[in-house]
Amino acid sequence: MKAYAKANIFLKLIGLDTRRYHLLSSRFILLKDLYDELYLSDEKTQEGFEIISDFHCEDNIIKKAYHLLCDYGYKNQLEELFKNKSLKLIKNIPTGAGLGGGSSDCASFLILTNETLNLKLSTQELINLSTKLGSDIAFFLSGFHSANVSGCGEIINAFEDEIPSLNWTFPQIFCDTSKVYKEFDKKRHDFNLNLQQAKIYENLSTKELLQDYKNLELNDLFTPCVSLYPKMLDYLENQYFLSGSGSSVFKVDK
């Protein structure tokens, strides 16, 4: 199963919820040419649920999804499935790059498990589950190629989009999302102004956004990203657009 990357065409932070989590308004698009791969394998090196991959992450969101499904009532089915199977993960999406690779892997695992075990969970039920795991997962579960995303990432509205060809650059810089958000919080921001801008952006196509607005206007996290990772300044000054909290950047193909 392919776990596609995503890009943020715009990302405006518009407030905080009661938990002090950031509320956002963003355009997500699916990148069909960049994806991780997940499939069930007969290869086993240990008992129970196992992820076999060259990629290692101590705080693995797929394992959290596995345990969440167990808690949701599917423990017996999952244990039976992974008695003789492992989950093979081939990692192609750069990490710490603002492309949602971990969230996409998690969404694909939920879909793969749902289909394999015939759990009959609806897309909305999977999305409801995903909110306990991470903010971007809902978009990948939706199946939309382009959507306006709001709340903490769980509100997804499909968008009929016009997407130009994009030329991507993947700097060898790992941008820590939580640190970038904390850097953003160090300065005062006009959330009402950000909301007004977001309402305009939500009605424009990706093509219109990228031709009519500058990088700093579209992504509120570019400035804090550069503050933390000074090597990103070159991309800012050369009019690249930033996806998410970085470090992936892009321009429209000429």
What per-residue confidence (pLDDT) applies to 250?
98
Q: In what order do the strands lie in the sheet with 249-252?
A: 166-169, 249-252, 241-242
Are 119 and 188 in a shared domain?
no
Tens-place pLDDT, residues 126-174:
999 999 998 899 999 999 999 999 999 999 999 999 999 999 999 999 9
Stretch 93-110: mean pLDDT, rounded? 96
Non-local CB neighbours of 80 within 8 Å, separated by 6+ positions: none
Residues in the chain: 254
Are 80 and 154 in a shared domain?
yes
Are 111 and 144 in a shared domain?
yes
Catalytic residue selected from 6, 12, 105, 161:
6
Characterise 120 by phi-psi region: left (phi > 0), alpha (psi -120 to 50), beta (else): left
Domain termination residue (choose one: 105, 130, 158): 158
Catalytic residue selected from 12, 36, 91, 136:
136
Are 154 and 121 in a shared domain?
yes
Distance CA 180, CA 174 (A): 11
Tell me, yes or no, if 6 is annotated catalytic.
yes
CATH at 190: 3.30.70.890
Tens-place pLDDT, residues 206-240:
999 999 999 999 999 999 999 999 999 999 999 99
Confidence of residue 59 (pLDDT cuts 50, 70, 90): low
Tell me, yes or no, if 54 is annotated catalytic.
no
- Per the prediction, the chain carries an average pLDDT of 95
Are 15 and 84 in a shared domain?
yes
Q: What percent of the chain has pLDDT over 90?
A: 93
Are 26 and 151 in a shared domain?
yes
Range of the domain at 126: 2-158
pTM of the model: 0.94
